[in-house]
Structure formats: C-alpha cells, structure tokens
Chains A and B, each alone.
Chain A
Amino acid sequence: MEIVLNFPCLSILLAMFSAIISSALNRKWARYLNTFVVAAVGILSAAVLWLTITANQSFIYKMGHFPAPFGNEIRFGPLEAGMALFFAVIMLLSLNGGREKIRMEIDPGKEKLYYIMINLLLSSLLALVYTNDIFTAYVFVEINTISACGMIVITEHGRTIEAATRYMIMSLLGSGLFLIGICILYDMTGHLLMEYLYTSISNLMAAGTYRIPMMVAIALIVVGLAIKSALFPFHAWLPDAYGYSTVSSAAMLSSLVSKGYIFLLIKLIYRVIGFEVFYGSRIINVLFVFGLAGMIMGSVSAIRENDIRRMISYSSVAQIGYIYMGFGLGTAAGMVASVFHILSHGATKSLLFVAAVGLTDASGGHKEFDELTGAAYRNKLAGAAFLVGALSMVGIPLFSGFISKLLFAQSAIQSQGKALPALIVLAVSTVLNAIYFMKTVIRIYTPTDKEYEVTAFGYKISYAITLGCFILLNLLLGLFSQPITNWITQGLTILQ
C-alpha cells in the first residue's frame, strides 16, 4: 500500500517527462507514448482512488527536503483522485475519437507538438488537482493556459489564431487577478500551503482584523478563476476557440481545461478560504447572478447559431453557468451538485463534440444545419451518440444530465431566498436547451435525397468504440449516480 502513495507525484512527473521525451521522438512514437501515459495515469489514479476511498482519509506527500510550512506538498483524497481518473478517461476518449481528425487537420510535422501539448496539459491538470501549495497552483494554471492555447492554435486556421489570442488575453487577465490575489493572501498570512493558510485565515476572521483586504483577495482569486473558466460575460473567445480547433482540442478544452480551473476553485474554497467564510461573503451572490445569466444567455446564443460546433460551444457557456449557480446557492448540497455537473457535463460535452464531427464529416465537412439534414443516416453511430448527448443535455431521466438537474433543484430548494430564481432559471434554461438540441436532432434525422461524399472517417473501429464508451459513461452517470454522489460527498468532507 505504501507504494500507492507515490502514484500522484509519479503521474505528474510521468506526464511532464513524457512531454520532454516526445520532443525527441517521431510523430508515431509520440502518439504511442501519449496514449500510454494517459492510460497509465488513469490506472494510477484508479489505484489512488481505491486507496483513499477505503482508507476514508487524505494523504500528504512531501516534495523535496523542506517540511511544512516551508516546503511544497501534494495532497490527495478521494475527490482529487477521482477527478484525476475522470480527466484521464475523458482525455483518452477525446483523443481517440478525434484521432483521424488530428491526422487530417494538423500538419504532419506538427503532430508531435500536439502530443507534447497534450502531455503538458495532462501534467498541469494533475498538478492543479493534487497540489497543496497555491503558488504551485498558479504556475500550473499558466502551464495549463499555454498548452490549451497551443492546442487551439495548432490547426493554423485564421479563426483559431484569433480565438487563441483572445483566449490568451482573457486568461492572462484572469491569471493576473489570481496572482495578485494569492500575493495579498501571502502578504496577510505568510503562508503558501493550504492548511496553514486556512488556519491563519480563520484566525484572522475570528479576530475580525483585515476583513476588507481578505475579501478583496478572495474576490480577486474567485473572479480570476471565473474569467479563466469562461463564466458568462467572459466567454467571447469561447465559440471560435471550440468551434474551429480540431475536435479533440474542443472536447478537451470544454470538458477538462475549464473544469480544471473550477476544480481548483473548489479546492481553494474548501481548503484555503474556508466554506463558512466563503459563504459568508457576498461573492457568492455575484457568482449566483452571473451563473444564472450565463444559463440563459448561453442558450439564447446557441439557439441563434447556425453552426453545429459553435452551437455546442455556446451550450458550454450555459453549462458553466449551472456550475457557478451551484456555488452561488451557498449550500453543501449545491457544491455536490456542481461537482456532479463537472462530471456529467464533461462526459456529455466531449461526447457531443466527437459525435458532431462524425456528422459533419458525413455531410461533406459542412457544419451548417442545412447541410446536416439526414446526417444521422449517413453516420448512424454518430447520430445515435448525438441523440444520447442531446437527451442528456435536455435532462431526460436515465441520462446523466437529469441527475445534475435533480441535484441542482434539490439543493436550490434547500437554499434560503435563492430557491425561486434558481428553479425558474433552471426550468427556462432546460426548455431553451430542448429547443436547440431537439431542433438539431430532428434535423439530422430528416432524410434527404442529397448525396454526400462519405469519407472513411466515422467508420473506423476506434471511433465507434470511443462513441460506445462515451454513451456507456453517460448512462453510467445517469443510472448509478448514488455511489458517485456518495463519493463526492465523502470527498468534499475529507477535502475540508
């Protein structure tokens, strides 16, 4: 059992070193190495998950020679390990589903670079999940941003470069705020490790001193991460970045990168700021309002969109809004719902992106709805997978989206004063979701006489297996949600 304790650190290092080694390999081996590393990280995380759940506690792993409070640490409990496992699984599936597209859209000389970026992304995600030190978190936030930017820009489409630039600007604004926030925290407490920060902050709050600077610092951190994860008014870069990059990038950006920041925020709320302090502040009201606005505006933009990929991207804006709405409710149940929605949305959105690319490829590469008529007959599996994803997004029972909605609604009813707006917006946003997703489903299932050149893509075995796994994952989250919510509750308790 002792050996499992090394796994989180090992998986971060594995991902990071594979990025370095990949630069010396050719594209084929870089691909193999990447697949191996992602799979290995998944297996290692599964072992850690099993250990932490059975032990029902978290572990601390000391990095280097300096003991706390000076040195750097890794900390892992069930929630962190599960999240790492989930990220690895989604990454593996997204890469596999878009593999053919990566080959088609990326210059062969640069494919290797793409896998380097993926490895870096994985290592930074793992570090964000596991780290116990806020400055390390900042560094890996930046690495995450850089690798995400590389993933967007690698297709060398005019739109993607522009989108990547906008993404970088937004992210840098966010990380600037985040950085100054943690510097102010450091200034006030003198610590960088989360436990010590937590004790100092609760002492300060109990003493009643430094209240205003504390609130400013918390606000800076929260707003910084919210900007980075594309909360509603900061989403301008998102549709272009998701809509024009290669499909694996889009799937990973929406279901991993933004979720990595959100998970970091959850960690900070529980382990640094403290649940009570956070919910005592007015910041949650701001998050609540922006979350609600995002739920509506994201869907409205999606309805107006005529491009299937951009439509799915706008739907991400709405779904991020759900997650922040869950934070804003100010209850532990709301937090559980938000964490569940991270999983559910991650699984569904990457499924939709991967399925959509099968449909567009069966329609001569067009992404406009007119051309997608009958696409589900030309690529049956992609059509079925899109249907599953759409039903889950709409919130039909048996699929994962329903459980998220259920959890959100249940926690909204418990919250004081916010129940009504939350439930109304939840219902309105669900109907809006239904409008654009069902419209698309009907469109792709309407037969047409128009002939399209059907590319070989989409009939590949690996693509089919990927879609099958995605559908299974979605049903798994929808049907057996109880163990998962139990795990989330346990994980959040241990996180504290």
Chain B
Amino acid sequence: MGGNLAQNYGEVVAMILFGIGFTNLLLQKNMIKKIIGLNIMDTAVYLFLAEKGYITGRIAPIIKNGDLSPDSYINPVPSGLVLTGIVVSVSVTALMLSLTIRLYRRYHTLDLDEISTRLKKEGR
C-alpha cells in the first residue's frame, strides 16, 4: 500500500489537490477564494492527466530527427485533453469572475451568504 503510494506520488498529490480545491469551492464564503478553489481543482485534474500520459524517459510527441518509432514519445492524448480542459477552465473562470464583479457592484460584498440574507430581507 505505502509502496504504491510512494510510487504514484504524482497521482496522490493530484487527488489531495483536488480535494483541497473541491472543499474550497464548496465551503469558502468569499467568491474570489471560491474561484481559486475551482482553479486548484481543475489544475489537479490536469496534473493527474499529465501524470498518466507521461512515460519516464520519453519526450513530447513532436517528431525529432525523423524518429517515427512510437517508443520514443509519450502518449499524446492526455496532453490534448489537458489543453482542452485548460480552455474550458479559463472560460468558466472568466464567467465566474464577471459574475463576481456584477455582484460586487450591486451589493459591495464578496460574501455570497451575506448577499443571500440581504436578498431575503428585501423580500424579492
């Protein structure tokens, strides 16, 4: 068990980071901290994917010196997935930030719970 964990330390770190990001996104009151949590969570997934795609001693799948043998390169698919994921995560972060700006302009706070209580008081 311990040996496995030590061997796959990259995945272990990724999972721990995912947990940290997830709880931050869920439990933080401050919107900015939530968004940071979201980014940690997404990055953890990319770390996980990159760790899966990397094969020790090989290089990025860009043909070098005419070497066409697949044995020299790492698996390109996870890298592609990471790139796609980054695009998604950037756009989601941008959207969240813009929503935060809207909320801040309206209520002058970043605390989501406080906004909710204020909305309930207003009654509509």
Write the residues of chain A forming the contact surface with B, with a CB cutoff of 8 angstroms: 70, 135, 138-139, 142, 145-146, 149, 153, 156, 158-159, 161-162, 164-166, 168-169, 172-173, 176-177, 179-180, 183, 186-187, 192
A172 adjacent to B77 (CB under 8 Å) = no
Docked Cα-Cα span, A179 to B81, in Å, equals: 11
CA distance A186 to B81 in the complex (A): 11
**Residue in A139, A166, A183 whose Cβ sees the most chain B Cβ within 10 Å:** A183
If A135-B81, A169-B25, A176-B25 touch, whether A162 touches B45 (CB-CB below 8 Å) is no
Q: Are B119 and A172 in contact (CB under 8 A)?
A: no
Given A142-B92, A153-B99, A192-B77, residue A176 in contact with residue B106 (CB < 8 A) = no
Q: Are A165 and B38 in contact (CB under 8 A)?
A: no
Query: Shortest CB–CB separation between residue B53 and chain A, in angstroms?
Result: 10
- Whether A176 contacts B45 in the complex (CB less than 8 A), given A164-B99, A165-B103, comes out as yes
B80-104 contacts to A (CB < 8 Å):
81, 84-85, 88, 91-92, 95-96, 99-100, 102-103
Indicate which residue in B18, B88, B91, B122 contacts A180 across the interface (CB closer than 8 Å).
B18
Q: Which residue of B lies closest to A179 (CB)?
A: B45
- Can you identify 6 A-B contacts, CB atoms within 8 angstroms? A139-B84, A139-B88, A149-B95, A156-B102, A176-B41, A179-B45
Once the chains are docked, how many angstroms separate the CA of A64 from the CA of B41?
A: 31
**Number of residues from B at the complex interface, CB < 8 A:** 37
20 other A-B residue contacts (CB within 8 Å) besides A135-B84, A172-B92, A176-B25: A135-B81, A139-B84, A139-B88, A146-B91, A146-B95, A158-B106, A158-B107, A159-B119, A161-B103, A162-B103, A165-B31, A168-B92, A169-B26, A172-B38, A172-B96, A177-B22, A180-B18, A183-B45, A186-B49, A186-B81
Alpha-carbon distance between A41 and B52 when the two chains are bound, in angstroms: 39
- Most chain B CB neighbours (cut-off 10 Å) among A135, A139, A168, A179: A179
Does residue B124 face the partner (Cβ distance < 8 Å to A)?
yes
Asked if residues B22 and A173 are in contact (CB atoms below 8 Å), the reply is yes
Convert B19-53 into 0s and 1s, putting 1 for each residue whose CB lies closer than 8 angstroms to a CB of A. 00110011000010010001001101100110010
A165 and B42 contact, CB distance less than 8 A: no
A165 engages B99 (CB within 8 Å): yes
Interface centre among A70, A149, A166, A168 (most CB of B within 10 A): A168
3 closest cross-chain pairs (CB), A and B: A142-B88, A176-B41, A165-B99
Docked CA distance A351–B102 (Å): 32
Cβ–Cβ < 8 Å partners of B49 in chain A: 183, 186
Q: Using a CB–CB distance below 8 Å, which chain B residues touch chain A?
A: 18, 21-22, 25-26, 31, 34, 38, 41-42, 44-45, 48-49, 52, 77-78, 81, 84-85, 88, 91-92, 95-96, 99-100, 102-103, 106-107, 112, 115-116, 119, 122, 124
Asked if B42 and A176 sit within 8 Å, CB to CB, the answer is yes
Question: Smallest Cβ distance from A274 to chain B, in angstroms?
Answer: 23
Residue from B41, B45, B112, B124 in contact with A166 in the complex, judged by beta carbons closer than 8 Å: B112
Partner of B25 from the list A138, A173, A187 (CB cut-off 8 Å) is A173
- Contact flag A176-B22 (CB < 8 Å), given A183-B49, A186-B52: yes
Residues of chain B lying within 8 A (CB to CB) of residue A145: 92
Q: Is the CB of A161 within 8 A of B84?
A: no
Tell me which residues across on chain B come within 8 A of A192, comparing CB atoms. 77
Complex Cα distance, B102 from A186, in Å, reads 38
Query: Are B99 and A146 neighbours in the complex by a CB distance under 8 Å?
Result: no
Interface pair A168/B96, CB less than 8 Å apart: yes
Cβ-defined contact, B31 with A159, below 8 A? no
A364 to B52, CA, bound (A): 60
B residues near A164, Cβ cutoff 8 Å: 99
B100 touches A165 (CB 8 A): yes
Q: How many angstroms from the CA of A172 to the CA of B35 in the assembled complex?
A: 10
Q: Complex: how many Å from CA A70 to CA B25? A: 34
Q: Give every chain A residue within 8 A of B48 (Cβ-Cβ).
A: 180, 183, 187
The interface residues of chain A lying within 8 Å CB-to-CB of B42 are 176, 179
Residues on the B chain within 8 Å of A168, using CB? 92, 95-96, 99
**Most chain-A CB neighbours within 10 Å: which of B18, B25, B48, B99?**
B99
Quote the shortest CB–CB distance from A142 to chain B (angstroms).
5
- Nearest-CB residue, chain A, relative to B112: A165
Instruction: For the complex formed, measure the closest distance between the CB of B51 and the CB atoms of chain A, giving whole angstroms.
Output: 9
